[in-house]
Amino acid sequence: MTAGNDSVLQLLPMVFAAPNEALARAEELLAADPSPLHASVAHQVIGIWQRDFGDTRLALAHLRRARDQASRADSPEREADVLATLGVALVHSGRTREGLAAFERGVARGSGHTRARVLFRRAYVWWVLGRHGEALEDVRRAIPVLRQADDVIWTARALTLRATVHLALGSVERADADFSAAERLWDTTGQEHDKADAVESRGLAAFRSGDVPAALRLLDEAEERYAKLGTPTFMLTIRRCEVLMAAGLATEALAEADAATAALDGIGGQSTRRAELLLVAARAARLADEPRTSLARAALAVRLFAGQRRTWYETHARLVLLEARVATGRASGRLVADAAAVAERLAAFGAPAAPEASLLAGRIALGLGWTADAERHLAVAARSRHGGPPLARMTGWAAQALRARAAGSARGVLEACRRGLDVLDDHRMTLGASELRARATAQGAELAALAQEASLVSGGPRRLLVWSERWRATVLTAPPTRPPADPALLSGMTAFREIAARAEEARTDGGRPVPALEREQRRLEREIRSRTLHMRGGAPGDGDRFDVGRLLRRLGDDVRLVELAVLDGRVQVLLCGQGRVRRFEAGLLAEAEREAEHVQAGLRRLAHPGAEARLPLVEAAGARLQELLLGPAAAHLGSGPVVVVPPGRLHRVPWALLPALRERVLSVSPSASSWLRASDTAPPPGGRQVLVRGPGLASGGAEVTELAERYGAAGAPGTATPGVAAPVATTPGASGTGAYRGPEGRTDGTPDRAEGTPGRTGRGLGPADGYGVPGGGAGALDRPVPRPSVLEGDAARVPRVLRELDGAALAHIAAHGTFRADSPLFSSLRMADGPLIVHDLERLDRSPYRIILSCCDTARFASVGADELLGLVTALLPLGTAGVVACSAPVNDAAVVPLMLTLHKGLDAGLSLAEALRDARAALPGDAVHQATGWAFSAFGAA
């Protein structure tokens, strides 16, 4: 290869714009026996590639050869440039002293423009070492010279670095200005790697300013750009993990950090990056309630940072190490001193984490009874409550709440908790994805617990109820954010459905899906989830504050609402009704959870014939559950309807099994506020009904056939033939058979009623029709009843089903339900073309006013955050659904049919879902299979 000096030197910028091409050309250049000057460039290019994308040991070998060749060429400028590259590699390999010495020689050997580039790279190393003052000084000296030389690429890099240092020091506005200036410069270049780095940096800035969805979107965009270049993304992984933790996704952050660490070890990568990945993994493990994992990762990170002379990072790792030790029960006076020392060092660095260390020192001191020490440290931490990002302010309010508790001021505790939770509310409202909103509540769990504790001590049952509601099912209180009409997202969901259907078909045929199908399904799930996490929420607002008086007025004298709060591991029963709130103390939450699991196991057994002997055991377990969950409150429920509001960890309790609730009109709600909203929800006009039958049901979805007959048998045109399902509703051009029937049951725009044909007689649908005739009655008989849309066979495809569900008054879906504990928003109902998932339901403008889900596991949830639930039912409630009947356990398909038919008979008579379900249970045969089936279903909401 022959080329002039300029063309050879172009290999250096190429290593960032097209790294693999630069590597190939450098290797080709070396094979041609180049001059020392050209050999120096080639070895430097290979060294940079190995340093950033490969083996650090090979990088050092090539860079030392590059230095030696530059010396042979008697080129001080070339030698200075190589020494700077070598210095970066040495620091990244953990040889900090050698690296800094290389920089000293490089600064001395270079001049003018070359020295400015050396200073920029030394500034980068100072940033890596956490020495931000030195970093700012070197980059301050470099930028004017680079600008004067009209060096666009290096000026943009220097501005990006300075912005990153500003972010580390909490100066978001200065960082934004530098990032914007750098991005304008990058737009004039072809440096694709640096452009990707600019997008990554904007993601970091968005995160530091509190915009988590934008941060995730930008980091994902940067990852896509890096992937096209074949660039490893270890730094990006570290930043993404930080954002995931802020969003409450600590388990995912831990998995990503550990996977990146393993990949880095596999290529012999940079020791500095390994330490940083260990630190982020330690923080994630602590937040994921894995203190021993956190302890191990943090201890190793401390050793690595100390060996690398990276004091800033070492101090942050020591903070996580101390937090992990406290979480494993090792609190001591020595830890108070250690935490205080860490806080002082972090404050000296200007690190935003300093208040966390002061809060930790104060917490430990409080636990030891050292009130004076605790007050000193908490007062320092509390200063952060008035400024900075949301989580820093919450740290300050937590410290203030602990100060007030130590001083015996319940009022001070409640005020601090209120202010802190308001900060978190505003933060959560910026998050569009329901999963992020739910998981983010974990960050306010301590404040909520402190407030409930203060309420219990001094405020009486009403105040405890207010604070129980303040932090219960908060995701359902905010207006939902609809997923964007993103073609890539819609395409991904369609592809996911197809792959999932093929995998399910393989399972049904007695085998298991080929690994390639499973891998592609997981990939599509990650892509869908990633895109939904990019959604941004609406503007923060106060929303509706819970009003105890309004609740009691709505309950009246007959209805009782039972809200279960948990304080110090014990269930507190708040019994609301007859104009007052009373508190009763029940059993331990841990014991109730164990008993609920035993009951679930019993119901699973009873779903199969031949397990009758277990029925008395399950009933006895129900009695024990009642004692643990209701305690003495069970004797004060009166004789009217009961609404149960359990904590998230008790969502699997089959409440109808409890003796005091077995014969009652019973409904379940995630919160009292949610129940009030449901009771205020008006049904949609028109009373449109939808019946859906999915594939593969053991009973064949027999109740859908009979219900289609029942609702269609009114003498109107198109009435179903006895024993035959009503014609499938289809849209023009859609698959399926039968004439199109719109929302009002019309064909071609004409009413679905022949001249002189009366409306249906003897059966009023009541409020769910939208006709405003409570309880059915004569008023309902004079009105036309719209004929239901029946979707089955090939017509029961997800797009068609969603169109029909949108805005319906009543929907009945008989389809296999699958709950995904690992990813609750991929819980699904099986349709003809694959799974209908929670993400699909979130696209509805308005979910059905009433919906009946007649198959297994449709009422299972994942308990996340402070007290939030994710699942099929909770996806529907914020979207306009006022009542749901769903099942929390596997059930016998055949036994479901009579339960559902009797349930609909009650709805026809004008009953609510809870009333109709109570009557349907009572009408079942007394054998074990049918009894267990009835207990497994619950009514949610107030419709």
Query: What would the pLDDT profile of 641-658 be if each residue is shown by its tens digit?
Result: 999 999 878 877 899 999
Query: What would the pLDDT profile of 424-459 be if each residue is shown by its tens digit?
Result: 777 666 555 555 555 555 667 788 888 888 888 877
* pLDDT value of position 487: 73
Crossing angle of the two packed helices 112-128 and 132-148, in degrees rounded to 10: 150
Q: Quick one: residue 69, left, alpha or beta (phi over 0 = left, psi -120 to 50 = alpha)?
A: alpha
* pLDDT value of position 433: 54
CA distance linking residue 188 with residue 806, whole number of Å: 48
Q: Look at residue 473 and tell me whether its pLDDT is greater than 60.
A: no
Answer whether 242's CB lies under 8 Å from 353's CB: no
DSSP bridge partners of 575: 562, 582
CA distance linking residue 726 with residue 704, whole number of Å: 10
Relative to beta strand 862-864, strand 868-870 is antiparallel
Query: For all residues of the chain together, what is the average pLDDT?
Result: 81
Q: Which residue has the higher pLDDT, 780 or 418?
A: 418
Calculate what percentage of the chain has a pLDDT beyond 70: 83
Tokens, residue 493: 């969901």
Relative to beta strand 642-645, strand 666-668 is parallel
* pLDDT value of position 764: 27
Q: Look at residue 731 and tell me whether its pLDDT is greater than 90.
A: no
Q: Which residue has the higher pLDDT, 748 or 291?
A: 291
Q: SS3 letters for 616-665?
A: HHHHHHHHHHHHHHCHHHHHHCCCCCEEEECCHHHCCCCHHHCHHHCCCC
Q: SS3 letters for 328-363?
A: CCCCCHHHHHHHHHHHHHHHHHCCCCHHHHHHHHHH
Taking residues 114-143, report their average pLDDT: 93
Taking residues 477-481, report their average pLDDT: 55
DSSP bridge partners of 870: 862
Closest C-alpha among 349, 355, 362 to residue 391: 355
Q: Look at residue 778 and tell me whether its pLDDT is greater than 60.
A: no
* pLDDT value of position 443: 66
Residues in the chain: 943
Query: What would the pLDDT profile of 33-81 be if each residue is shown by its tens digit?
Result: 899 999 999 999 999 888 877 778 889 999 999 999 999 999 999 999 9
464-468 CB contacts, 8 Å cutoff, 24+ apart: 464/565, 464/572, 464/574, 464/583, 465/548, 465/563, 465/565, 465/574, 465/576, 465/581, 465/672, 466/546, 466/548, 467/414, 467/417, 468/563, 468/565, 468/574
CA distance linking residue 264 with residue 678, whole number of Å: 52
Lowest mean pLDDT among 257-266, 634-643, 874-883: 874-883
Q: How confident is the model at residue 871 (pLDDT cuts 50, 70, 90)?
A: low
Count the neighbouring beta carbons within 10 Å of the beta carbon of residue 718: 15
CA distance linking residue 517 with residue 313, whole number of Å: 42
CA distance linking residue 382 with residue 367, whole number of Å: 18
Taking residues 851-859, report their average pLDDT: 76
Question: CA separation (Å) from 155 to 18, 151, 166, 553, 655?
Answer: 20, 6, 17, 67, 66
Crossing angle of the two packed helices 152-168 and 112-128, in degrees rounded to 10: 30
* pLDDT value of position 611: 82
Q: Which residue has the tokens 């409080």?
A: 366
Answer whether 811's CB lies under 8 Å from 789's CB: no
* pLDDT value of position 421: 84
Count the neighbouring beta carbons within 10 Å of the beta carbon of residue 143: 21
Beta carbons within 8 Å of 733's beta carbon, 6+ residues apart? none
Answer whether 381's CB lies under 8 Å from 399's CB: yes
Count the neighbouring beta carbons within 10 Å of the beta carbon of residue 567: 17
The three-point CA angle 877-883-888 to 5° equals 85
Answer whether 588's CB lies under 8 Å from 632's CB: no
Answer whether 230's CB lies under 8 Å from 20's CB: yes
Beta carbons within 8 Å of 797's beta carbon, 6+ residues apart? 735, 831, 832, 833
* pLDDT value of position 180: 86
Taking residues 225-235, report their average pLDDT: 85
The three-point CA angle 746-751-753 to 5° equals 110
* pLDDT value of position 737: 28
Q: Which residue has the higher pLDDT, 932 or 473?
A: 932
Q: Which residue has the higher pLDDT, 213 or 299?
A: 299
Closest C-alpha among 324, 242, 239, 238 to residue 285: 324
Lowest mean pLDDT among 193-207, 456-470, 612-626, 866-880: 866-880
* pLDDT value of position 206: 81
Query: What would the pLDDT profile of 356-413 be if each residue is shown by its tens digit?
Result: 999 999 999 999 999 999 999 999 999 988 877 777 888 899 999 999 999 999 899 9
Tokens, residue 755: 């001249």
CA distance linking residue 746 with residue 725, whole number of Å: 18
Lowest mean pLDDT among 429-438, 474-483, 563-572, 720-729: 720-729
Lowest mean pLDDT among 101-115, 542-556, 819-833: 819-833
CA distance linking residue 790 with residue 585, whole number of Å: 49
Answer whether 679's CB lies under 8 Å from 776's CB: no
CA distance linking residue 104 with residue 115, whole number of Å: 11
Instruction: Give start and end residues of each alpha helix (H) in 459-558.
Output: 460-470, 487-508, 515-533, 548-555
Beta carbons within 8 Å of 266's beta carbon, 6+ residues apart? none
Beta carbons within 8 Å of 422's beta carbon, 6+ residues apart? none
Query: What would the pLDDT profile of 492-549 be if each residue is shown by its tens digit?
Result: 777 777 777 777 766 666 566 567 777 777 777 777 767 776 666 554 444 457 889 9
Q: How confident is the model at residue 627 (pLDDT cuts 50, 70, 90)?
A: very high
Q: What are phi and psi of 630, to 5 degrees?
A: -110, -30
Beta carbons within 8 Å of 95's beta carbon, 6+ residues apart? none
Q: Which residue has the tokens 């009403």?
A: 462
CA distance linking residue 293 with residue 284, whole number of Å: 9
Q: Look at residue 771 and tell me whether its pLDDT is greater than 60.
A: no
Answer whether 44's CB lies under 8 Å from 63's CB: yes
For 488, counting Cβ atoms within 10 Å of its Cβ (0-12 exposed, 13-18 middle, 19+ buried), the class is: exposed
Q: 896-905 burial string, b = 16+ CB within 10 Å, else e?
A: bbbbbbbbbb
Lowest mean pLDDT among 190-194, 448-452, 543-547, 677-681: 543-547
Q: Look at residue 801 and tell me whether its pLDDT is greater than 90.
A: yes
CA distance linking residue 257 with residue 864, whole number of Å: 21
Taking residues 279-284, report their average pLDDT: 94
Q: Which residue has the tokens 């064909």?
A: 747
Task: Give, for 863, the enclosing helix (H) or strand (E).
Answer: strand 862-864
Taking residues 928-940, report their average pLDDT: 91
Amino acid at 178: D
* pLDDT value of position 387: 78
Q: How confident is the model at residue 779 (pLDDT cuts 50, 70, 90)?
A: very low
* pLDDT value of position 215: 85
